[in-house]
Structure 1
Amino acid sequence: MHSNKLIFSFLSILLLFTFKVSSQIVLPKIIGHNMVLQQKQKVSIWGTASPNEKISVAFAGQNKKTTADKAGKWSIQLNRMDASFTPREMTIKGNTTIVLKNILVGEVWLCSGQSNMEYAMRKYSKFETAVKGYKPPEDDLNKANNTNIRIFLDRRKYMDPSPEHLGWDAAMGKPLVDFSAVGYYFAKDLYSKLNVPIGMISAAVPGSRIEPWIQASKMDFAPILKNGKTLEKLSADGGESGKFYDTMIQPLIPYTMKGILWYQGESNCFLNENIRYAYKFKTLIESWRNEWNNKTMPFYFVQLAPYAYSTTKDERPHSAEQLPEFWEAQKLALHLKNTNTIAITDLVDSIADLHPGYKWEIGRRLSLLASNKTYGKKNVVWSGPVYKKMRIVHNTIEITFSETGSGLTSRDGKPLTWFTIAGKDGKFVPANAIIKDNTVILSAAEIPNPVVARFGWNEGTQSNFINKEGLPAVPFRTDNPWDKLFQ
């Protein structure tokens, strides 16, 4: 009899403990102390609790209430708020209470991709030894002290909820050491232009192909070109669909943010992909926007840097034109609204280096892009010359450009490099290139009747063709076979 009482008491304590644990509010890792909430948008706050538990969320004078569903899931949306440097608390109440501290309101961006986006601030020594210009103005790794820039490092095995709610940090000291250099310098430059708190989320994995970043259910389809031709089914092409989406992206959804920065493609370029990558990229952009319920969310990406793919020992042989064809595939994403790209052909010391160190300048250029296209600062020049159209005039080809800034020029004062033209036989030769207003006039003595032109159509391209703001021209070919077929 005494034994039965002991068993009953033990079971009662166990049930009471189980109830207390199950009744605790659990928040996703991304919602925690020091976070930045997106200004001027409804802000999602969500988590789990006991089934049918009543939940309230109080922040900045708002007090939102909801009830968890039968599975214990709950979510609310805070009303739109203006940016604020004032650190405030958020109180989340149910059967238990959570108080999150030091929360700011400003602009939130996600940066994702592979190693060049993951490239951490701890590699600062490579910045200091860079041969070309664009030196960082100061030693940010050791001197960064802006508590209004906050960072969240998304690690695959780190995204499970925890009771400490310590996901976010100020961008300084030890937390900054492991954070994306591109992401940090984007935030630093954007802060100088907007003067509001900036929150950066970094979710990047070295060596990753694009397929693991796409939800597996979205990948298995056969693209159809505008001419009716059906390409082979994409599926995963040997990659692991959804691997990083499931563990790193999905746990962030639906955290409210302004836009996405993407720097990825080297692993797919090694596979000699072009149009197939374009459709995977389109799938990623559209599916992420749909998951965040924001079909026009800004999505900005980095054109891959020059690299000698053709010299690498690989089971697939690579030509010197493989990388330009990949650039072309990346640019097909510009068919989607609110997408754009930056060129970095000038940010390489050696085309044998797959990881050039000019990450501060890449972050700055992405900030220029966002400043102009997202935040309406039209006086900010964000890109070098972009091919617009061509016309044949006698024995020359005249190329017209957009994004000319305050004018076209040569970086070193010498004749423009990496322009080629060809006649109907398709044999390209170097072209004489002369700047006239916002056009470039191309000619070659051995091509009396030119029909096509190319610029920077080589993996080693580091042209001197820029606008007067110092931004490099974007490589192109006027005989692009995909632009009118892609949909």
Structure 2
Amino acid sequence: MIRVHTMQGSDENLARQNPFSLMEWQVCQRSENGTASLMVQGQLGSQHDQTRTYHARLCLESSGAPASEHLDHVQITVDSQGDWKLLLERVPAGGPYRFELNGPGFFSCLHHLCVGDIWVIAGQSNAGGYSGGFIEDPPEIGVHQLAADHRWSLAAHPLGDGWGHSPLLQFGKLLKNALGVPIGLVPLGAGGSGLAEWNPCEGEAPLYRRMISTIKSTGGPVKGMIWYQGCTDAGNPQTASTYAERFRAFVDRLRCDLGQPDLPVVMTQLNRIRGPADKQSDWNWSTVREQQVLCARTIPHTAIVPAHDLGLSDAIHTSAESNLVLASRYAQAALGLTRPGREVCRPAEIQYARLNRTRDVLTITFSHVPIGLVAVSEEICDFIVEDGGCEVNYTIPERYLYFTNQVVLHLARPVSEKTVIRFCYGRNPESSLRRYRDMIPPLACMEMPVSTADQA
């Protein structure tokens, strides 16, 4: 509870906050013109004097200078019950700001108020932050978080309901430094949750209801959503194979309920999992990854980043060190979706695979590779070549593939037209290829039919 400290030494409650009133550490979403309108209200208590004049100001926390000239000395009106309300208009993006309320005999203030961008983080445990290990990733003023109880605070590990390290604090700091505005994080990931718990088109969806309630408590729109989920749906072939259809229904409903038809969404292509595997579980995990790529291709204002190459701190959670890598990928994708004039950051992916005339050399061409590809290990084992259900061995003579977007596989024998390739397939795939420009791996591909030279 925020308190008023009077010069007489008695305390009165300053504000009975509603969802659209300010609270300390709050980040308010800026509009397209770079400003926000902020509502602050409260009660001075029974001892107030209506004959007194009360003033408010919004100033920089760092220096005390006014946030803007028109916000420097604003008179407020107090009713007979001691209630007051003030709309601060055209507050410029930035902060932290301090809101001051003063009059004869008392002074009170709210600290660390910001105007910037708000990002919602939803999905499973890797969205919440369950990573073990140690990494330097300190809090930073100007990157704040809103918890599920609708209270704002300085963002620090663990975020939300997590108990370990999360990639999202670093994501917030990278965005703040790139954009020059504060970032608000709304971490809502729930460990072990399936897509059905987020998708109101499949039932009650309690996590969706919690998300909508929390977003509305920010008092306005949000900038976008980070989505990291799919492990639970990979446990069942039915939920795996219908993931794209169900995720699209979830996004459509979310955008409708928020009144933001172009809400940017950054997806994570499913990571890896250690432990015993079988054909069905490999198929399930690869199917979810393929469905997620389909989402990014078909849902407007959606980007995807890969995670299958990242290190783990246990059987399934991304390590703290790899979280910083993932944070950078999120930031690139978010900036591409939201920054005017910036190109959307698209990961490389297989465009086509073509056999030579003797059908013993297979050339795989990747899209979105401006400079070239490189391998980070001595052997490139990312590909599986299958002919009639049987794996075919291959060699790759060139490990360094600068200035080309192609990988050439020399097959152990000629293959048929029914041959398919898989890339980074299964629960725990090999991953050694990287795009040279940013060292991001291509997206995993479940199955790509090959073409022949005659079909070119």
- Quick one: distance in 2 between partners of 1:343 and 1:319? 19
**Deviation digits for residues 258-284 of structure 1 (CA, Å, limit 9, x no counterpart):** 110011111111123323222111111
How far off its partner does 1:449 sit?
A: 3.7
Q: Report how far residue 464 of structure 1 moved.
A: 0.9
5 Å-filtered alignment, 1:74-113, equals: 82-89=92-99, 101-113=111-123
Corresponding residue number in structure 2 for 1:464: 432
* Contact preservation (8 Å) 1:306, 1:459: yes
Q: CA 1:80–1:410 in 2, change beyond 3 Å: closer, same or farther?
A: farther
CA 1:115–1:29 in structure 2 vs 1: closer, same or farther (change >3 Å)? farther
- Give the alignment of 1:62-461 within 5 angstroms: 82-89=92-99, 101-119=111-129, 126-128=132-134, 136=135, 139-140=136-137, 144-154=138-148, 158-159=149-150, 167-172=151-156, 181-215=166-200, 219=201, 235-236=202-203, 241-253=204-216, 255-272=220-237, 273-308=239-274, 311=277, 318-334=280-296, 335-349=298-312, 353-357=315-319, 358-375=322-339, 378=342, 382=345, 384-394=347-357, 395=359, 396-412=361-377, 414-423=378-387, 425-433=388-396, 434=398, 435=401, 437-450=404-417, 451-461=419-429
Per-residue CA distance 1:210-250 (angstroms, 9 max, x = gap):
112122xxx1xxxxxxxxxxxxxxx45xxxx3211223333
1-structure distance, mates of 2:133, 2:177: 21
Distance 2:41 2:112 in 1: 23
- Of 31, 34, 52 in structure 2, the residue corresponding to residue 40 of structure 1 is 31
CA distances 1:142-194 after superposition (whole Å, capped 9, x unpaired): xx35211111122xxx35xxxxxxx1112358989968712211112222322
The structure with more strand, counted as a fraction of residues = 2
What number of residue pairs does the alignment pair up? Answer: 379
Q: Structure 2 CA distance, aligned partners of 1:430 and 1:30? A: 65
Q: 1:325 to 1:44 in 2, by over 3 A?
A: farther
CA distance in 1, matches of 2:263, 2:425: 31
Q: Which 4+ runs in 1 deviate beyond 6 A?
A: 44-49, 57-60, 76-80, 173-177
Displacement, 1:110?
0.8
CA distance in 1, matches of 2:439, 2:182: 29
TM-score for the superposition, normalised by structure 2: 0.71
CA–CA distance in 2 between the matches of 1:45 and 1:255? 10
1:473 correspondence with 2:437: no
* Alpha-carbon distance in 2 for matches of 1:214, 1:58: 43
In 1, the alpha carbon distance for the partners of 2:230 and 2:99 equals: 40
CA contact (8 A) 1:408 1:467 kept: yes
Structure 2: how far apart are the matches of 1:441 and 1:206?
Answer: 41
SS at match of 1:321: helix
Q: CA deviation at 1:32?
A: 2.5
Report the Cα offset of residue 102 of structure 1.
3.0
In 1, are the aligned partners of 2:304 and 2:347 still within 8 Å (CA)?
A: no
Q: Relative to structure 1, is the Cα distance of residues 361 and 329 closer, same or farther in structure 2, using a 3 angstrom cutoff?
A: same
C-alpha displacement of 1:309: 6.8
Does the 8 A contact of 2:286 with 2:446 survive in 1? no
Distance 1:370 1:393 in 2: 40
The answer on whether the counterparts of 2:172 and 2:183 sit within 8 Å (CA) in structure 1 is: yes
**What secondary structure is seen at the aligned counterpart in 1 of 2:24?**
coil
Q: Deviations over 1:265-307 (max 9, x none)?
A: 1111112332322211111111111111111111001122111
Give the share of equivalent positions with the same residue, in percent. Answer: 21
Structure 1 residues 428-476: Cα deviation after superposition (integer angstroms, max 9, x where no partner): 3243345471112234132334543221122221321111232122111
From the superposition, tell whether residues 266 and 309 of structure 1 become closer, same or farther in structure 2 (CA, over 3 Å).
farther
Q: Distance in 2 between matches of 1:308 and 1:458?
A: 11
Contact 2:353 2:363 in 1 (8 A): yes
Question: d(CA) in 2 for partners of 1:31 and 1:274?
Answer: 42
Which residue identity does 2:283 align to in structure 1? E
Q: Which amino acid letter does the alignment assign opposite residue 474 of structure 1?
A: L
- For residue 330 of structure 1, give the secondary structure of its aligned residue in structure 2: helix
In the superposition, relative to structure 1, how do residues 30 and 401 fare at CA in structure 2: closer, same or farther (>3 Å)? farther
Distance 2:153 2:165 in 1: 13
> What is the CA-CA distance between 1:38 and the residue it aligns to?
1.9
2:77 equivalent in structure 1: none
**Does the Cα contact within 8 Å between 1:422 and 1:447 map onto a contact in 2?**
no
Q: Is the 8 A contact 2:286 2:427 kept in 1?
A: yes
Q: Does the CA contact (< 8 Å) of 1:30 and 1:152 recur in 2?
A: no
Query: How far off its partner does 1:26 sit?
Result: 5.3
**Cα gap change, 1:379 to 1:274, in 2 (>3 Å):** closer
Taking structure 1 as the reference length, what is the TM-score of the superposition?
A: 0.67
| Alignment CA distance shift 1:265-1:325 (3 Å) | same
Equivalent-residue separation in structure 1 for 2:21 and 2:245 (angstroms): 30
- Match in the other structure for 2:78: none
